[in-house]
Amino acid sequence: MKRLYWRPRQVSQTVIWLMAGFSLLGLASVERFRTSAPQTDLDTKMEAATYASEMMRAIKAEKMHMSQLAESSVDPAGSGMIGQLMSPVTTLTGRLSAKQTAVNPNFAAVVVEQLIDAGVKQGDLVAVGYSGSFPGMNVNVCAALKAVGAQPIIIASAGSSQWGANNPDFMWVDMESLLSEEGLLPFRSVACSIGGYEDIGLGMTTEAKDMVKKAIKRNNLSLLQSTDFVEAIDERMQIYRKQSGGRDYAAYINVGGGTISVGRSMGKRAYKPGLNLSATRDVLQIDSVMTRFMSKGIPVIHEVEIDRMATKYGLPLAPQQMPPIGEGGVYNLTRYNKLWTGIVLVSILLSLRALVLTDFGYRFVKGRGGKKTDKSPEPMV
């Protein structure tokens, strides 16, 4: 019994270029017919961004009064939220571009979305841990909590990395007090640590530690007294537990990469930026404030890798001017036209079949004067 085989043939270069052009045209048409639809909870997001803008303006005005504004080359948006490269209370290195990106008040809308996705509602308790390293993001978190109507229990770290709230005379805890005194912030931190390495200022000079302690004292905050890693976590959890009055927390928000909050080296890579609803068993073995909340099934919102989050939510990187309120993908969701996308895809597949898998393509090219670069199938026995 004889079997009939078909020898594969080469595809004409003309057909290849024709299909490439048709595919690019289809892609362009799919992009052209995209639609923009408003995101959910738009009013709350706009309200949060407005609060954040007002808070940043108040801080900027005070820094201007104190002659502390950074140069335009450092703070091109003129936000007033960028600090110094170095100061006596600077704890760690920091990336300037991330600090510049975080001054966008529309990040407050991002935090609103994260809170709502975590299930946080008006009146819910939310635990918060932040330092002076990202004053812009701290403001955005506070504005979002205010807009949502949550009740935060905040533990701060006074120290700051480069370009943060690292002026000894106007640290983050001073900014927080200013916002409270001006009626812009309805809550404040309940306690504060020195910050820095291991959260106790390891590596800082005695003089620098005294400056930080002075800032904590003048803002009437309780100074955390722990001296080692596990004790520091225990102390924070005890404060959160005591301040809750027996109520459950709806979420925990961490801003930055504080060791006590996120854990040591492995902990810093264990949680993704933004909302975390669960964690693997291995991650839960890494002791930190975040893990202790997560082990109880409490969602964790991790405000780190600011540039990456900005890209995700359609916000500009290191803006050269303060972005207008309401601008960004967090407010408007771009959708592709599913029907048209399907039509384009099917058209491309049918064209491939017609031009490559049948003799039509060969005849089509030949009929237009194309070179004969392939051979018709020949039966082989």
| Token pair listed for 287 | 């002791």
Q: Which residues pair with 200 in a beta bridge?
A: 195
pLDDT of residue 269: 79
Confidence of residue 356 (pLDDT cuts 50, 70, 90): low
| Cα angle 82, 178, 139; round to 5 | 50
Length of the chain: 381
**What's the maximum distance between 2 C-alpha atoms anywhere in the chain?**
99
- Tell me if 249 sits within 8 A of 149, measured CB to CB: no
Kindly report, residue by residue over 173-186, the tens digit of the pLDDT.
999 999 999 999 99
Q: What percent of the chain has pLDDT over 90?
A: 69
pLDDT top residue among 357 and 149 = 149
Rounded-to-10 torsion of CA 122, 187, 239, 88: 140
pLDDT top residue among 300 and 269 = 300
Kindly report, residue by residue over 273-291, the tens digit of the pLDDT.
999 999 999 999 999 999 9
Q: Which residues pair with 332 in a beta bridge?
A: 38
One-letter amino acid for residue 71 of the chain: E
One-letter amino acid for residue 268 of the chain: K
Kindly report, residue by residue over 124-166, the tens digit of the pLDDT.
999 999 999 999 999 999 999 999 999 999 999 999 999 999 9
Phi, psi of 349 (to 5 degrees): -65, -40
Cα gap 310→308, rounded to integer Å: 5
| Token pair listed for 326 | 């309401």
Q: What percent of the chain has pLDDT over 70?
A: 83
Q: Which residues pair with 126 in a beta bridge?
A: 152, 251
Confidence of residue 8 (pLDDT cuts 50, 70, 90): very low
Distances in Å between the Cα of 316 and the Cα atoms of 63, 101, 253, 306 are 25, 7, 23, 11
**Among the ranges given (98-107, 315-324, 349-358, 364-373), the one the predictor scored with the smallest mean pLDDT:** 364-373
Burial class (CB in 10 A: 0-12, 13-18, 19+), 358: exposed
pLDDT top residue among 6 and 147 = 147
Cα gap 239→244, rounded to integer Å: 8
What does the buried/exposed string (b/e) look like for 209-238 if buried means 16 or more CB atoms within 10 Å of the residue's CB?
Answer: bebbeebbeebebeebebeebeebbebbee
One-letter amino acid for residue 178 of the chain: L
Angle of helix 338-356 relative to helix 13-32, nearest 10 degrees, comes to 180
SS3 content of the chain, % helix, strand, coil (to 5): 45, 15, 40
- Give the DSSP per-residue string, 206-268: HHHHHHHHHHHHHTT-EEP---SHHHHHHHHHHHHHHHHTTPPEEEEEEES--HHHH-STTGG
Confidence of residue 12 (pLDDT cuts 50, 70, 90): low
Q: Which residues pair with 189 in a beta bridge?
A: 154
